[in-house]
Structure 1
Amino acid sequence: MDHEIEYDRDTFRNIRRNLGLILELINDHTDVLPTRDPARSKHEVRGGYKIASRRGARLDEVEVFNFYFKFRSHLRGDGIALMYRTNHNQERIILLPDNTERRYSDERRSYLGVARGLLFRGWMDSDEQSELIENLQLLNVHERCAQSLQHEYGHILHWREFDHLGIHSPLDIYDWFVEHGYYELVEMRMPGFENKSALDKVWILKEAFVEDYRISLDLSDTNGKFILPNKFCHFGDFQMPELLSEGVKIMKKMIANQIGSSPSQRPTSSSEMDSLEVIRRVSDEGFKTKWRAGQKRSNQTTMDKDRAALRQMSEAAISLDM
């Protein structure tokens, strides 16, 4: 197989035709996917890596690869990027082919369209719209690549925290988010969250969490600019910016002891799906239901049903393993 894979040249030696890595990811059950998206240039990856590292994503602790193809196997290699941990305890981030310039241009247009809709309805302050415009103007190819690297490193940190706490099931993860108040906060920031399935809620919570981690690095490095909104929570954050600040605050407390920690042995993975699709789904739901930020909608009955569903899934998985 002649697909090329390479490390960031400034940090790692250049590796081409790494058969070992290919065989680790690609097998008889893998689909190598056709895509019109170009491979990311070395210039883009090098610049994004430097920005993310400067902000505090400790990419020197992991291996970063720039892939020239997309795939779908036991890992979701069909999005923008992904992270995974091997059976040998190596944490890796893979950047997947993407037209980065077109992506951030489309993201900028999508977010500004949401803001105009909110402003028209009187749900967003005009000063906040101006602030959003200033943030989005900071996007470029290097910056957008850095955002993906920061997002994936956030996944690495929450998996380390799960290992530290002995969290192994979706039910454990669900309870972790509830106990720290993050579930409640996401519910106040994302339209329709309370109506999602229990498993979808767990996935959204993890994704919103690492988006807040990504933003926390931006805020500390750019005089309070978030640059790119939280794609799951933007509809609520645009209405009540203090919810974003609270999300970042809670997130920092939840993984405070994981910066610089070492990984454990459990294989894990997470992938960053198409941001534009998420933005569209969230904003469509918000406008359709006339959703307003800051309201708690779940009750104890809702959470009991979620826990019962997750518990049943865990028990079914155990029986299949026996």
Structure 2
Amino acid sequence: MSVQNTRLEVMKFLEKDIETSVNQYLMPVEKIWQPTDFLPDSQSDNFLEEVKELRELAKDLPYDFWITLIGDTITEEALPTYESWLMTVEGIDQLGPNSWSNWVRSWTSEENRHGDVLNKYLYLSGRINMREVEISTQYLIADGFDIGTGSDPYKNFVYTSFQELATYISHNRVSQIAKQHGEKRLAKMCKMIAGDEMRHHNAYSEFVNEIFKVDPSEMMLAFLHMMKLKIVMPAHFLRESGQSIGMAFEHFSDCAQRIGVYTAQDYVDILQKLIDRWEIGKISNLTDEAEKARDYLMKLPARMAKISERLVIPEQGHIFKWVTPATL
């Protein structure tokens, strides 16, 4: 049997439990929070007063924080790219009665709220050049991304397991910094977004765990492939107006590193968490090639930690069109 046919067989085997995963890891639409729960109520007589308070509190947030928050927002707003990507994965049939496609749509519906609430907050804050942010968002959706997974479900689920934990860390740290600056509204909304991301991480990690039980060698090789390739962030093509693809991403990453929202060490820690969660060191019945892959993966966090220690982040950042220091 070909590798592709094996993947399809495994996806069909796992599909019987996907509806359970939807109920376990995703929230019913009418019970989960919505963006308006955390924003000034536009139907209230106190709406303008609430907006004024929000704008006053936003004045105390530092420049690198704003750039990181904007980058996170644009990343969340590029959701059409992520749904269309997942719908191309082997075993996910968007046209037929397929539990996997139901998972993707349900996951997307939860993720969609993140960009909504953050975008509205940025708009109401009065600190942001929203037109420039909107241009970057449109570019990111139009440019798409290339994360090296192809249509392979094994590689895709490694990516989502990693990436959902990374976004949990990022939103959770943004929440903590906002709270330190007295912006409790933003802190709460980012905390709730982080909670969603952790649930999604747990779901995708469990998908990988189940694949390890039925196809351990191929799953191990897929894990190795993604870690050798390196997990790129969904916004790695990020750009501002007048720029070419990807020019803004490194500067955005530097901002996140400077304020400790997402660092090179976090990348290493996530890798170690996945190795521990999937109990990579205990997996048996592997081919010789997969055994070598496992040995490589077990040593990889220590190697990457040494590399991360040598990284130098510029003290002075790029001046973004989204917001300039003079406007803060």
Q: Does the TM-score normalized on the shorter chain lie above 0.5?
A: no
**TM-score of the aligned structures, taking structure 1 as reference length:** 0.32
Larger relative strand fraction: 1
Please say which structure displays the higher CA radius of gyration. 2
**TM-score of the aligned structures, taking structure 2 as reference length:** 0.31
